[in-house]
Structure 1
Amino acid sequence: MSTPRLTDSAEAYAAWIAPQASLVVLQPTTLCNLDCSYCYLPFRRRRMEMSVETAQAVAASLAEQQLGHVTEVCWHGGEPLAIGPEKLAALMAPFEELRRAGRVRHSLQTNATLIDHAWCDLFLKHDVAIGVSIDGPADLNAERVDWAGRPAFDRIVTGIGRLVERKIRYSLIAVVGAGIDRAVDLLDFLAGLGPTSIGLNIEELEGVNTSRSQPVPARARAFWEAVFAWSADHRDVEIRELDRLAYYLRTIRDGGRASWEAHRYDPLPTVAANGDVVLLSPELAGIRDERYSDFLAGNILDEPLNEILAGAWRLPYVSEFLDGLTACRETCSFFDFCRGAQAGNRYFENGRFDTTETNYCRTSKQELVQALAGIAQLPAASTSTRSTEDEK
């Protein structure tokens, strides 16, 4: 990818960042019914709910995107189900014409504890792709508790059972903390629940989760080696991280380098319950930092999304992020696969966006590649055809 050196320009923004959002994250409520010990959300005790007017403004903005462009609208939180099925149905209503036209598709990430048949009816009506957060069997899921400190495990499994009963497909995402030394136990359990795919998020420093110790690269490499070995015996189970690496390798092998390098970052707008918009990382929503004007790119009630994105290159944290991507490309041997450290991880680990390597890079990208190289008994650099790292 040809990127200008001066990344404080609209041209540099256009070279690195896609002009239209393919994923828009909406926060129907800040409230969560759980108090997971590693949670990054600053306002999960408070019930701030999105208005229908805000949802209408987002839908109107997406209607302005070019025909043929499909946008995933991801309902995130907080716990999105904490708003109740009637209110979420009202928030989804403004998108229905776009959904029926194939221009919008819904997804929702949930802890599953509140799923009942009314929720299943809504998921089926709007063809919602469901992601469930669970960290493994009961002992590995022990940090997912409610506000009274009671384990959420049985309620999560019950919610998953209701999805299975209604034949609603779902994916799983596990935060890998204690499970980093028990990959086989973790994967055996998750696969036994019957998901369409499994995502493995090694715990990160982000949001208000800034003081817990983080896994070191050596443990991460051992974890990924165990994941590769498990996957070799369970080829019918899709593991998100392994599939992303495999897709990269296939693309390069099949002559698709030009298309791979032409890839631009999704601006990833996140719309908070009050309509405020932050870019590049949902974890920045609600974080206060005067240096970056609290990361606010605008408010969807005041201006449409296309105008917010058109002026995003002027935001100091966006400009810093572009400088960081340039530095990643010039200094990191994993860049060809990774395409640069994530914006949220840069900020929460290093305090700025124009830095490069993070612990997230090392444990979730670099050690993933190193584990595959070790299994193949090849130097890690051989998995990349140039000395140059993708999104979560």
Structure 2
Amino acid sequence: MNETGSPNPQGCAPDPWITLLVLQPSPFCNINCDYCYLPNRTSTKRMAMEVLEKAVERTFASDLVQGDLTLIWHAGEPLAVPIAWYEDAIQVIRRIAPPGPQIRYSVQSNGTLINDQWCDFIQRENFCVGLSIDGPAFLHDAHRKTRRGEGTHAAAMRGLRMLRERGIPFHVISVITREALGHAEEIYDFFESEGVERLGLNIEEVEANNMSSTLAAREDARVREFYEVMFQRQKERRTITIREFDAARQKVLGGVSLRDFDFPWFNEQARPFGIVSVDWEGNFATYSPELLSMPVDPYGTFAFGNVKTDDFCDALETPKFQKVLTDIQAGIRKCAATCSYYGYCGGGAPANKYYENGTFASTQTMYCRYSVQMPLEIVLSDIEKDLQLATPSAA
């Protein structure tokens, strides 16, 4: 990007480049979470190898990949697609990807389909594994059900324990709903007892098909109490690294300027081509992955092209991309001008701005308050207390 925030006139690559490629093998999911934002979860359609081949070709043919790349299989339930499909896919990727950049594979799963065969494959290909589990059964099964309305906790925990027994590293993402807020200690203790070492807390968001959140009615005090209990538990036990607090601590100790507008903290979701997402049909987009192929007024379907016919760089010149870029940049500038947290965030998440505020050209969201600001305030307060204790008082 140049200083005006427009695409670099010397080439296609914005700065920084692609760090994350999100591929959707299939929209299908074998369970039916009530807060899921994805449509078409009953469709068993699958990404064709020709589409995958084009997606990889487009990625590396551009000048957007300048270093290592994380490729995450996401959206729907990736493990509902057969292992044989992934074996073929990896062969395609190895054939096309140039020497040099390291490709790290990751998969985000509900865990219910994990078995010995999947464990063998995951170990062989060195996949990173993320599991979506909301804590104890009474919380998890309240929202993460089968299509027959049955809980999925037991099946998910079988998957987690199988990974643990096989020595396969994994992390957990837990969706925090209003029901979870009063159970911080139980949630931490549960994950600790199951050997979880890395935990992310996804506050239930308003996105796409999930048009309302149980937390939308300004649960600030209860969310803060939840976070404070989780933080103290983490600090005392030192058994689980919680993503939100770890990220906040890195930012604080990294000395990021609060008012520096020049993107002091890299925000993948707010930078063009920091993330590229490709759906099973080959439609591609950048910015927040949750926007891909969604109807987003006034831009139409949120996709900037299709890998079967379009290069990523060509998308920069389209009226749709320019309109989206202009609106997202306007929102970022508003954040920089009005929000004291801007230096730690880089401009928020476009998907949350759109779904909560109705426009990319906006500022604070529930995601900002709960996933960025509160963890940062709690960590900063803790660091200040530690410094006060470490500093001898004046005589």
The TM tier, using the shorter chain, reads 0.7 to 0.9
Paired position in structure 2 for 1:360: 367
Query: Which of 248, 258, 262 lines up with 1:245 in the alignment?
Result: 248
Query: Which of 26, 29, 41 lines up with 2:26 in the alignment?
Result: 29
Work out the CA distance in 2 between the residues paired with 1:362 and 1:259.
22
1:26–1:271 CA contact under 8 A, matched in 2:
yes
Paired position in structure 1 for 2:117: 118
Paired position in structure 2 for 1:10: 7
1:220–1:364 CA contact under 8 A, matched in 2:
no
Work out the CA distance in 1 between the residues paired with 2:48 and 2:103.
20
Tell me the CA shift for residue 76 of structure 1.
Answer: 0.3
Tell me the CA shift for residue 125 of structure 1.
Answer: 2.1
Number of equivalenced pairs: 372
Paired position in structure 2 for 1:159: 159
Query: Which of 196, 220, 226 lines up with 1:217 in the alignment?
Result: 220
Secondary structure, in 3 states, of the residue corresponding to 1:228? helix
Structure-2 change in CA distance of 1:355 and 1:340 (3 Å)? same
- Is 1:233 the counterpart of 2:221 in the alignment? no
**Unaligned residue ranges in structure 1 (runs of 5+):** 379-392
Work out the CA distance in 2 between the residues paired with 1:262 and 1:362.
17
Tell me the CA shift for residue 99 of structure 1.
Answer: 9.1
Paired position in structure 2 for 1:330: 337
Work out the CA distance in 1 between the residues paired with 2:22 and 2:94.
17
Work out the CA distance in 2 between the residues paired with 1:200 and 1:83.
27
- Is 1:176 the counterpart of 2:176 in the alignment? yes
Question: What letter is aligned with 1:87?
Answer: W
Question: What letter is aligned with 1:169?
Answer: P
- Is 1:345 the counterpart of 2:360 in the alignment? no
Paired position in structure 2 for 1:371: 378
Paired position in structure 2 for 1:78: 76
Structure-2 change in CA distance of 1:309 and 1:160 (3 Å)? farther
Structure-2 change in CA distance of 1:44 and 1:3 (3 Å)? same
Work out the CA distance in 1 between the residues paired with 2:28 and 2:102.
29
TM-score (norm 1): 0.86
Paired position in structure 1 for 2:283: 276
Structure-2 change in CA distance of 1:160 and 1:213 (3 Å)? closer
Work out the CA distance in 2 between the residues paired with 1:330 and 1:289.
26
Question: What letter is aligned with 2:59?
Answer: L
Paired position in structure 1 for 2:298: 291
Question: What letter is aligned with 1:219?
Answer: R
Q: CA RMSD in A?
A: 2.9
Tell me the CA shift for residue 108 of structure 1.
Answer: 0.3
TM-score (norm 2): 0.86
Structure-2 change in CA distance of 1:210 and 1:262 (3 Å)? closer
Secondary structure, in 3 states, of the residue corresponding to 1:223? helix
Which has the higher mean CA deviation after the structures are superposed, 349-358 or 52-61?
52-61
Secondary structure, in 3 states, of the residue corresponding to 1:147? coil
Structure-2 change in CA distance of 1:357 and 1:193 (3 Å)? same
**Unaligned residue ranges in structure 2 (runs of 5+):** 386-395
1:18–1:264 CA contact under 8 A, matched in 2:
no
Work out the CA distance in 1 between the residues paired with 2:312 and 2:229.
43
Work out the CA distance in 2 between the residues paired with 1:231 and 1:309.
44
Structure-2 change in CA distance of 1:375 and 1:249 (3 Å)? closer
1:28–1:272 CA contact under 8 A, matched in 2:
yes
